[in-house]
Structure 1
């Protein structure tokens, strides 16, 4: 049974402000979330802005300047460790790529943001949780889906779902309110420690687009790099070391983004569907994600039975689909996650890559409990001896029927 009421327009926002004692709104410091604070400031309702740091850096002073301007409380949560441990590890094990094209990102981050928002709302006594996703952003169904599955008892949603304003209109309104700090931008971005994603603006038309090199961070190749051998070690399905050096998970991911990215490895482009079936172009860079998922795939192929792998391959895209459709906290997602988590327990070992410009070539696989052969000729001879001895045993007199030749 639904315990929440949906917010979909600015008209809904006015109603919510009259009904609510305290509103929690997700806040990034961008135009959309700042414009929402501006509209809420006109209602007189108590508002708290929540920022969740997932690894792309948070300028706390900048955020405080904006929230202070609108007399709004600001809460900042560092959720990088949680994100890496609870969402990135499952994504590695599930080879979480949309249609096998590129690593998923907001499908992983939005469920965590929603959970932290619910926890904060309960702590503060908020009776509404708002965000700023619109109909052309898949975060709309991911945030709404997670908030509803988490059984938040209050108002949830985005006033931009049905009330559409251009970026320029929002910038102008904020400037007139006394906050002339925002500038027009042709491309929108969303980033965390796993993926940096770009869309809209200059990327609107898949038939003719160009990604400005300056927007890339990890994979921006300023000079040619020599080839580099790199190894990643896994323990029970989780990465634990790079080049033999044990690293905390968050440090390991950040390190791989830098090392793998400097070879220009980990850029992706592809289409993603909206809720109504329309497709939009997205460009991403994710060097650590690319390498870690490739390494895990090689290692699980080396250690898991072929029949198990076939079933896992069939279920991976179902896992991905539940995530991208905003059903992270559903029963099907939990069941799939349990299967994938259990199979990953047997995956331990080290994978080696040779990094060169734009490519990570597999160099070696060293599994702890491998099913692969390391000496095929020796194996052939051994098998021949074993099977040959069985054949002789089958032909021995004691195993053949006796026949009586009587007159």
Structure 2
């Protein structure tokens, strides 16, 4: 059954501009171009002009920056989520939000189909389509990269030239870029060789650590229930706060990651990431938790970080298991309130102080110079009980 109207997740680049034209030709129905502003600093009026020139019935642009930071970035921050230990998942966090808004737009305009420009080799196709399935299973999903006859960029360029598609087309594309308010990612092209060092002129958000200032910069971040709310005593909105930390971290070269990751579809991929503000926030948040979280609660939560991160990376933001995990994470954050002081220097964000009105740290108990409230003789029985099974294990080994 042919769709009556399609909403396309449109970026204004070569791929989605070709997809827009291809959809119009193949399905012969109106196509609405939906654009999500998640902080990628596009010229949105130019994007609108391109889409209309190709033939879009309507162009809908939504500012999703506050939702992106408050609902998605800060939720991941509260869980200390990092895929395979390093990747803070800027792209992974943006996709379910974009897909959710795309579903809203489809319902507003009366569309019965949605389309995206993700390739058949990457993770984004999964993230878009799992979100569609969770929020609007009645919508038809169109994934052109898995359906059309084009095999690569050269085919798209030729199609764009033949159809007069107004996009900046070049045949030389050294790498692929995805940007939002949380990060910039680079992959493909010259970066596909995992032995090759990325060129310094590639980076957009951070200076190289070697070129960073020779003097460190100190800052303080205030948290309330796990959420950052102020920098150096100034309360800021989520977008303002992250933007400021991006600027501060960027000028000190903080937040670069170069890793080979395991895609959900089974391939390995080399990715380069810049996440200056996010790196500062994760470092500060973790330090405050060490002051305020009970040991067993922290260890239990930490055991779930890999799973929570996988769910984000794989595209299961809207799923029953994610809802359950988020509820647990929120419970752990009730007392993660306080202030962390950091020093930014030559690519590093170092914690140099932390304080909290609900701290579990007791200087009188921790001190080597005082013994109030702690009888050191009690440790003797504690150690004896812990050692019992080791003695039994050792005796058995001696008999073997």
May I ask how many residue pairs the two structures share in their alignment? 370
Map 1:386-405 to 2 at 5 A.
none
2:10 matches 1:20: no
Query: 1:157 and 1:139 mapped to 2: Cα distance?
Result: 14
Question: Which residue matches 2:138?
Answer: 153
Question: Which residue matches 2:180?
Answer: 192
Query: 2:297 and 2:136 mapped to 1: Cα distance?
Result: 35
SS of the equivalent of 1:178 reads coil
Question: Which residue matches 1:120?
Answer: 105
Question: Which residue matches 1:403?
Answer: none
2:53 matches 1:69: yes
Query: 1:348 and 1:59 mapped to 2: Cα distance?
Result: 38
Question: Which residue matches 1:356?
Answer: 345
| 2:238 paired residue among 230, 239, 249 | 249
From the CA coordinates, give the structure whose radius of gyration is larger: 1
Contact kept in structure 1, 2:212 and 2:346, CA below 8 Å = no
CA deviation profile, 1:228-258 (whole Å, cap 9, x unmatched): 1111110111001111111111100000000
| 2:370 paired residue among 376, 380, 383 | 380
Question: Which residue matches 1:101?
Answer: 86
Map 1:297-312 to 2 at 5 A.
297-312=286-301
Query: 1:145 and 1:130 mapped to 2: Cα distance?
Result: 13
SS of the equivalent of 1:103 reads coil
Contact kept in structure 1, 2:222 and 2:339, CA below 8 Å = yes
| 1:52 paired residue among 33, 36, 44 | 36
CA deviation profile, 1:50-100 (whole Å, cap 9, x unmatched): 000001112122212211212212110000001111101111011111111
Query: 1:366 and 1:66 mapped to 2: Cα distance?
Result: 52
Q: TM-score, normalized by length of structure 1?
A: 0.87
How many angstroms does 1:385 deviate by? 7.5
| 1:216 paired residue among 203, 224, 232 | 203
SS of the equivalent of 1:220 reads coil
CA deviation profile, 1:136-174 (whole Å, cap 9, x unmatched): 221011111111111331211411025452112201210
Query: 2:199 and 2:161 mapped to 1: Cα distance?
Result: 28
CA deviation profile, 1:24-45 (whole Å, cap 9, x unmatched): 0000011110110121232431
2:160 matches 1:174: yes
Query: 1:142 and 1:379 mapped to 2: Cα distance?
Result: 55
Question: Cα RMSD between the aligned structures?
Answer: 1.9
152-161 or 126-135, which deviates more: 152-161
Contact kept in structure 2, 1:49 and 1:67, CA below 8 Å = yes
Query: 1:262 and 1:157 mapped to 2: Cα distance?
Result: 42
How many angstroms does 1:179 deviate by? 2.8
Question: Which residue matches 2:14?
Answer: 31
How many angstroms does 1:364 deviate by? 0.4
Contact kept in structure 2, 1:41 and 1:70, CA below 8 Å = no
Query: 1:360 and 1:169 mapped to 2: Cα distance?
Result: 44
Question: Which residue matches 1:81?
Answer: 66
Question: Which residue matches 1:240?
Answer: 229
Q: TM-score, normalized by length of structure 2?
A: 0.88
Query: 2:25 and 2:236 mapped to 1: Cα distance?
Result: 48
Contact kept in structure 2, 1:225 and 1:262, CA below 8 Å = no
5+ residue gaps in structure 2? 379-400
Query: 2:33 and 2:112 mapped to 1: Cα distance?
Result: 14
Question: Which residue matches 1:41?
Answer: 24
Contact kept in structure 1, 2:21 and 2:55, CA below 8 Å = no
Query: 1:182 and 1:153 mapped to 2: Cα distance?
Result: 36
Query: 2:272 and 2:333 mapped to 1: Cα distance?
Result: 30
CA shift in 2, pair 1:69/1:366, >3 Å:
same
Query: 2:374 and 2:125 mapped to 1: Cα distance?
Result: 61
Contact kept in structure 2, 1:202 and 1:210, CA below 8 Å = no
CA deviation profile, 1:4-30 (whole Å, cap 9, x unmatched): xxxxxxxxxxxx6xx111110000011
Question: Which residue matches 1:135?
Answer: 120
